[in-house]
């Protein structure tokens, strides 16, 4: 089942919050609408990338280039989801 528009808006806000550092990645994952039945590949990819971002905190803290790469990925996914769902 594809997420309803309200859930997609929440996902974009969570991703943007992580990018802007107003919310932690673990908190964003806990607040993420149920991903189990999601069929949209971009939404699934965003959840997967955010999961990696959350678990790689130790690497990101030691490697600023990796931090930048991962943050840019999340920002690009948020932008792509906004475009796909015309938010």
Q: State the average pLDDT over residues 2-12.
A: 83
Quick one: tokens of 14?
């969570």
* Res. 3 pLDDT band, cuts 50 70 90: low
Strand ranges (E), the chain: none
Extents of the domains making up the chain: 5-84
Give a three-class secondary structure readout of 56-68: CHHHHHHCHHHHH
CA-based nearest residue to 53, from 26, 33, 75: 26
Q: State the average pLDDT over residues 59-80.
A: 96
pLDDT of residue 1 exceeding 50, the answer is no
First to last CA, the chain: 19
How much is the CA Rg of the chain, to the nearest whole Å? 12
* pLDDT tens digits, 25-39: 999 999 998 888 778
Q: Look at residue 6 in the predicted model and tell me its pLDDT.
A: 83
């Amino acid at each position: 089942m594809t997420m309803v528009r309200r859930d997609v808006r929440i996902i974009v806000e969570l991703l943007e919050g992580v990018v802007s550092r107003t919310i932690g990645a673990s908190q964003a994952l806990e607040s993420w609408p149920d991903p189990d039945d999601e069929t949209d590949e971009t939404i699934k990819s965003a959840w997967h990338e955010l999961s990696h971002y959350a678990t790689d905190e130790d690497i990101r803290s030691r490697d600023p280039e990796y931090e930048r790469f991962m943050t840019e990925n999340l920002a690009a996914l948020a932008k792509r989801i906004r475009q796909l769902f015309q938010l």
